[in-house]
Structure 1
Amino acid sequence: MTGLTILMIGVAYLIGSLSSAVVICRLYGLPDPRTAGSNNPGATNVFRLGGRTPAALVLFMDIFKGTVPVYCSYWMGIDPIALGFIGVSACLGHIFPLYFGFKGGKAVATAFGVLLPLGLELAGLLIATWLAIVLIFGYSSLAAIVAVSLAPVFTWFIKPMYTVPVVMLSVLIIIRHKDNILRLLKGEESKVWDKVRLK
């Protein structure tokens, strides 16, 4: 592993550590998403807590912080496997943010941002998959799990040389959703449009 790759892994983690949900909620005077709602600092929970605008800002920022380090590394000529480690590092920053007590989110939007440099075809397939599952079942977590599970399959047909890095990313996101999987199996998972009643 080259010095440039190691540097970009560190940069990706530091960028990923910026918790968009916490920052946006503070700006909008909303409860801390780590301790309110689903206790997950992500766009879906911010949507429940504060509505569309803050959720959209969180979504954009979370995608952006995944795209920037991977896109820069891609144009630096870093090889596919190393790009996988850089992408995973950005997601680990989101999951265990250095600046916010290592308590972060599920990294779904950040993972999507990591995959964006691979092409609009892949992005479109992932968005279509996520939307279809949400519209049919209403669960953001289920949509994320299905989308990331299919991501390596889509990648194999679009840019097969990146399949292994995408598998690495998918496994991380699925593991991060273990609690959601258990709640889905028990029928206890909240749907996207469920609003939170604040005390």
Structure 2
Amino acid sequence: MDKSLLTVLIVVFSFLSGSIPFGYVIGKLKGVDVRKYGSGNIGATNVSRVLGKKIGLIVLILDALKGAIPVLTVKYAGLPLKFQLMAALFAVLGHCFSPFLGFKGGKGVATGIGAFAVISPVCAGIAVAVFMLVFFITRYVSLSSITAVASYVIAFKFLVSSSDIYIYVALAGFVIIVKHYKNIIRLIRGEEKKYGVKTVS
């Protein structure tokens, strides 16, 4: 197959897979538009706050799978690491900028972990460990997510590859962190909500 056509197919398939808004769809099936409650995000954290932890866990798994499936497809097709990374990046972009939601979406953490865990389970394990440690200390999901993503990007550079294909990992990490910009502002201001802690009004 022509390389250009192959690239287009991978990009389109990965982007569409990542763009399926499971949090929004499951919320609507429950009669709730999760975008109108809590943080307004369609990701697992907000869904768990709005619809309960069990539903949030389902969304977390589905969001991770929609990132993992395109990468697994590319990997088992015997294509090089570059194409796997491309699939991972565009799955994340699909989640963050879903055409089904007017090119808006979630923050890409679960989809990113699902996608990039296929590529490097070791780096993903480091990221998950960092997430758990930061969350245990701070109870901030946003800060835990940001540091976990950053740790994957750094670990990949030193443990897997620092060649030109590293740009796909760096871009995915950059997009996910930028999507947390409101959380970052709230963290700086001391206004970010801790998970599982109710604030007194």
TM-score by length of 1: 0.90
Note the aligned Cα RMSD (angstroms): 2.0
- State the 1:74 CA deviation: 2.1
Partner of 1:128: 129
Matched, 1:164 2:137: no
SS in 1 for 2:35: coil
Distance 1:36 1:195 in 2: 15
The runs of 4+ residues in structure 1 deviating greater than 4 Å are none
Distance 2:15 2:153 in 1: 23
TM-score by length of 2: 0.89
Change (3 A) 1:55 1:17: same
Distance 2:86 2:34 in 1: 28
Partner of 1:14: 16
Bigger relative CO (Cα 8 Å, ≥ 6 apart): 1
Matched, 1:141 2:136: no
| Equivalenced residues, count | 196
Contact 1:37 1:45 in 2 (8 A): yes
Partner of 1:50: 51
- State the 1:12 CA deviation: 0.8
SS in 2 for 1:111: helix
Give CA deviations for 1:85-120 in whole Å, capped at 9, x if unaligned.
Answer: 322211111112122232211011001011111233
- State the 1:195 CA deviation: 5.6
Contact 1:81 1:164 in 2 (8 A): no
Contact 2:10 2:86 in 1 (8 A): no
SS in 2 for 1:2: helix
- State the 1:194 CA deviation: 4.0
SS in 2 for 1:34: helix
Distance 1:195 1:88 in 2: 35
Greater CA deviation, 156-165 or 130-139? 156-165
SS in 2 for 1:74: helix
Contact 2:74 2:83 in 1 (8 A): no
Distance 1:3 1:84 in 2: 17
